[in-house]
Amino acid sequence: MSFLASFRTFVSSLFRRSEMEREMEEELRAHIEERAADLERTGMSKAEAERQARIEFGGYQRFKEECREVSGTHFLEALLQDLRFGLRMLRKSPGFTAAAILTLALGIGTNTAIFSYVDAWLIKPLPYPQAEKLMVFLSHDKKKGWTNHSVTSTADFLDFQHLNTSFAQTAAWAGWNFNLTGDGPPAFVEGGRVSWNYFETLGAKPILGRTFTAEEDKPGGGHVAVLGQGLWQSRFASDPRIVGRTIKIDDETYTVVGVMPGTFQFPLMGIANLWTPMALNDKETADRNSSWFSAFGRLKPGIAQTKAAAESEAIFARLEKEYPQTNTNVTSQVSSMIEEIGKNEGTTEVMICFWIVALILLIACANVANLMLVRATRRVKEFAVRRALGATRGRLTRQVLCESLLLFLFGGVAGTLFGAWGMNWIQSAIPDHVRGYLVNYGEVNLDFTTLGFTLGIALLCGLVFGLAPAFEGSRADLNTPLKESSGQASESGRGARLRKIFVGAEIALAVVVLICTTLLVRSFLISVRSSPGFNPANVTVAQLQLPKTRYRQEETMRNFTEQALERIRALPQVVSAGAASSVPFGGFGQVVLIAAVDKPVPKPEERRGARFTAASADYFSAMQIGLIKGRRFTSEDAPGNPPSAIINQTLARQMWPNEDPIGQKIQYGEQHNIATIVGIVTDIKMYQLRERPERQMYVSLTQFPSPKLGFVARTAGHSTKMETAIRDEIWAVDRDQPVSAVEPLDTLIMVTDAANRVLTKLMVFFGVIATFLGAIGIYGVMAHQVQQRTHEIGIRVALGASPVQVVRMVLGQGMKLTGIGVVVGIAAALGAARSLASLLYSVTPNDPETFTGVALVFGLVAAAAGYLPARRAMRVDPVVALRHE
């Protein structure tokens, strides 16, 4: 029934009700009048007859009420009455109400905030029509088990494109950086090179102009561009005649053909504001060895993913037979785009948060249920009176349930507010550079799904956790409480047991949460405190890419690098400066295959790779990368001289375990270049603080100039003006050279680690909430117990129990409960923490320190929470306590 229809029924029933009331009045009055008329006929006076008739009729109002009762009250009306009564009861005990609502707000709010991300990332479909039909192709090495996101090779992909029958369209893409010149200062623009049908396959339409044509994707036809709305607005002032206008990309002229809306996003590529066609040349088209792009496809209607995967496997088996040289063990997997994007978004992290907040909600609910149980016990007398006055058990149950629902509803409202705040906090904590990889740029909103979820859990929990107190309350025995003179109605054994179970479960859950959060926080702290292998303090990094058009020759690249370095070094605040083809946490790196020249040639599957960096002579000193042995690069390592290499400790240990690597020759890269090892340096972290040591090798940037460059400048102290100063120096060498970003190295590291930082902050928060709620639970149950047992304690004291004995008795019970909870919690955590393994760094899921630590903390928390009630028990004055009766 729709809301409107049910509302109408409700209103009409209220109307009917007043009509019924009127009819009843009329009917009863008619009866009395008829009787009076009959009596009058027997000779009574009119007044006498009327009086007699009324007496004979009996209790007018009572019968009316009975009539009302038997003809049944309307459900909604009774509900309204219950709600009104519930509200009144809640208002009457503001302390209880505030505590319960606050607890629920914490429990429900954390769920709202985390659910908004679950909803946006796991439940909502991608922003493309029929997104479930989009499949990503992953190249897979059957022997080594490697899988990566690019296609196996350009020629393989083109063959697959022609041979497959499962896909309506297949499209290729590669993230690309463009240097945009003219129309203002040179700009570094992130974007992509894409096949002509890229937008069409995704199902995205431009807001202006068109996307690419097949002709434009042919060799030589690629000088057209599609702009993103953001770039169109910021750089071209939303020029309505932008379509057809020419722009300068990497020093070449491109014609703008269209503008994509700002909402268009492809999370696998990241932030993109400019697209050009791939326009593969003949050499690339024939390449069966490598590729530089990734691809996806849209399934034809009615074709399942499994069928497409089977076809892909068959096609690649054929290619393997046909081209054994390049395609042995190579195949292509078909994975859903939704799933692949989910991997970017930290689905594991979100799900772990979701489980943890679910536990927190349970803890909060158990707490509130406990509060309600205590309240039910205190209200036993009230319930007994109401039953004596004729309230049925069902009515009382419904009444208490109504109160609990109201409470949870208010908790839900407060939780929504708290959750909205939490959502905003998480959103603002997401660093900009990862937003491009998140659906909807990591933005979430409090939509109907999230609100519905919040309302749903509030009502469900209110119902489930309200049942126990409701039954407990309605069980009220008619006699016992009324007979007892004091208000101290004793509680039923079942109620007390139930509350102990609640608190025990609550402690166990809190222990699970605290252990999980502590493990994650600990692993974060270890990773943050671990040395990255260099000193990031006071280092500024400037990254750029030299366009091929002007820097085709090695000489020009070398000149640019040297001039820029010289100018940066000459800045007054700079202590030392260096340059490298890739810098740590710059988001870019290269891997080459390596081999020791003096060792037997490794079998293909045993070949090793190493992170490859071309570095200038003073790069190591500027970064403060430790030299273990040998020397750094010097002016000796000039073009023309035999190439030298520096390797890191890990490579040295793995390749020459028992020998001195200095002087050894290493072969690397596709051209099988050979270099002599001249030095060993410490391992450095390139992408993440929590990465394991990897093999790294360096060659001299003077000998091997690179178009990708990262300049690093170390200043004596913190310097704020470095960003612009470095940019100006680079522009002084080449005024058309855009610089992607000039940032302190500290910031780069922080940004890379932002996701872990957010997760860690959340974990600290969750851990604190869980502990806090657990403590409240213990306190509540013990305080209530002491109050219940005041009389008993009074007798004990009167009989000679010392205060210490009393405290021990009270505390002992709380500690016993805590002990059981902690043991159960630890057992459960042993299982639960295993699912965290993939997120842990240098910490095992059953880290003994964490487990014992949490157990100890909980013991202390329980002791502290039990202390106040215990002290109260100790101060019980036997005279007062006994007179209390």
Partner 1 sequence: MDNQAQILPGTLDLLILKAVSLGPLHGYGVLLRIGQISRGALLVEQGALYPALYRLVRQGLLKARWGVSDNNRRAKFYELTAGGRKRLREEEDGWNRLAAAMGSALKARPEEV
- Residues in contact with partner 1 by the rule CB under 8 A: 23-24, 26-28, 30-31, 33-35, 37, 56-60, 62-64, 66-67, 69-72
> Nearest distance from residue 53's CB to partner 1, in Å?
8
**Nearest distance from residue 33's CB to partner 1, in Å?**
7
**Cβ-Cβ contacts under 8 Å for 464 (sequence gap 6 or more):** 365
What gap in Å lies between CA 637 and CA 458, rounded to an integer?
70
3-state secondary structure 711-751: EEEEECCCCCCHHHHHHHHHHHHCCCCCEEEEEEHHHHHHH
Between residues 24 and 755, which has the closer beta carbon with respect to partner 1?
Answer: 24
The CB-of-874 to partner 1 minimum distance in angstroms stands at 58
Rounded to whole angstroms, the Cα distance separating 458 from 100 reads 13
The answer to whether the CB of 450 falls within 8 A of the CB of 114 is no
Residue (35 or 395) nearer to partner 1, CB: 35
**Closer to partner 1 at the Cβ: 64 or 223?**
64
Burial of residue 499 (CB within 10 Å: 0-12, 13-18, 19+) is: buried
Nearer to partner 1, 61 or 486 (CB): 61
Q: Which of 35, 653 has the CB closer to partner 1?
A: 35
Q: How far apart are CA 237 and CA 10, in angstroms?
A: 58
**Pair of tokens at residue 380:** 């036993």
Structure token pair of residue 237:
């002032």
Q: Number of H helices and number of E strands within the chain?
A: 29, 22
From the CB of 56, what's the least distance to partner 1, in Å?
5
Minimal distance, residue 23 CB to partner 1, in Å? 7
Residue 260 near residue 243, CB atoms below 8 Å: no
Q: Minimal distance in Å, beta carbon 398 to partner 1?
A: 20
Specify whether the CB–CB gap between 717 and 615 falls below 8 A.
no
Q: Any idea which residue has 């290269």 for tokens?
A: 590
Distance CA(184)–CA(381), nearest Å, equals 82
Q: Which is nearer to partner 1, 72 or 657 (CB)?
A: 72
The alpha carbon dihedral of 442, 448, 452, 454 has a sign of positive
Q: Are 451 and 421 in contact (CB under 8 A)?
A: no
What single DSSP character describes residue 446? -
Residue 160 to residue 157: CA distance in whole angstroms: 5
CA–CA dist 686, 693 (Å, integer): 10
Tokens representing 790 are: 């005041």
Pick the closer one to partner 1 by CB: 32 or 102. Answer: 32
Instruction: Tell the smallest beta-carbon distance from residue 49 to partner 1 (Å).
Output: 14
- Among residues 809, 781, 783, 784, the alpha carbon closest in space to that of 795 is found at 809
**Closest CB to partner 1 among residues 78, 754:** 78
The pair of structure tokens assigned to 791 is 């009389």
Q: Which is nearer to partner 1, 30 or 123 (CB)?
A: 30
Q: Closest separation between CB of residue 517 and partner 1, Å?
A: 58
Q: How far is the CB of 395 from partner 1 (least distance, A)?
A: 18
Residue 704 to residue 614: CA distance in whole angstroms: 7
Phi and psi at 78, nearest 5°, equal -65, -40
Q: Smallest distance from the beta carbon of 394 to partner 1, in angstroms?
A: 18
Do residues 561 and 616 touch, judged by C-beta distance below 8 A? yes
Tokens 């997120």 sit at which residue? 839
Distance CA 585, CA 545 (A): 16
Does residue 344 sit in helix, strand or coil? helix
**Nearest CB to partner 1, comparing residues 62 and 283:** 62
Residue 70 or residue 799: which is nearer to partner 1 going by CB?
70
Cβ closest to partner 1, residue 32 vs residue 80: 32
Give least dist CB 129 to partner 1, A: 56
- Closer residue to partner 1, CB minimum distance, 27 or 132: 27
Q: How far is the CB of 43 from partner 1 (least distance, A)?
A: 18
* 371 Cβ contact list (under 8 Å, min separation 6): 96, 99, 100, 780
In whole angstroms, the minimum distance from the beta carbon of 62 to partner 1 comes to 7
**Rounded distance between C-alpha atoms, residue 398 and residue 386, angstroms:** 13
| Shortest distance (Å) from residue 29 CB to partner 1 | 10
Q: How far apart are CA 292 and CA 172, in angstroms?
A: 10
Q: What are phi and psi of 820, to 5 degrees?
A: -60, -45
From residue 591, give the alpha-carbon distance in Å to each of 108, 331, 596, 720.
47, 22, 16, 34
CB of 402 to partner 1, least distance (A): 25
Cβ nearer to partner 1, comparing 23 with 849: 23
CA–CA gap between residue 728 and residue 720 (Å, rounded): 14
Which of 31, 494 has the CB closer to partner 1?
31
**Dihedral (Cα; 434, 438, 441, 442), 10-degree rounding:** -90
Residue 880 C-beta: closest distance to partner 1, Å: 51
Q: How far is the CB of 61 from partner 1 (least distance, A)?
A: 10
Q: Say if strands 134-141 and 147-148 run parallel, antiparallel, or are unpaired.
A: antiparallel
Alpha helices in 119-137 (DSSP H): none
Pick between residue 62 and residue 883 the one whose CB is nearest to partner 1: 62
Alpha helices per DSSP H over 543-607: 554-569
Tell me the closest approach of the beta carbon of residue 30 to partner 1, in angstroms: 5
Q: Which is nearer to partner 1, 63 or 146 (CB)?
A: 63
Residue 687 amino acid letter: Y
- Residue 69 or 598: the one with the smaller Cβ distance to partner 1 is 69
* HSE-CB for 526 with a 13 A CA cutoff: 15
Structure tokens belonging to residue 850: 């964490």
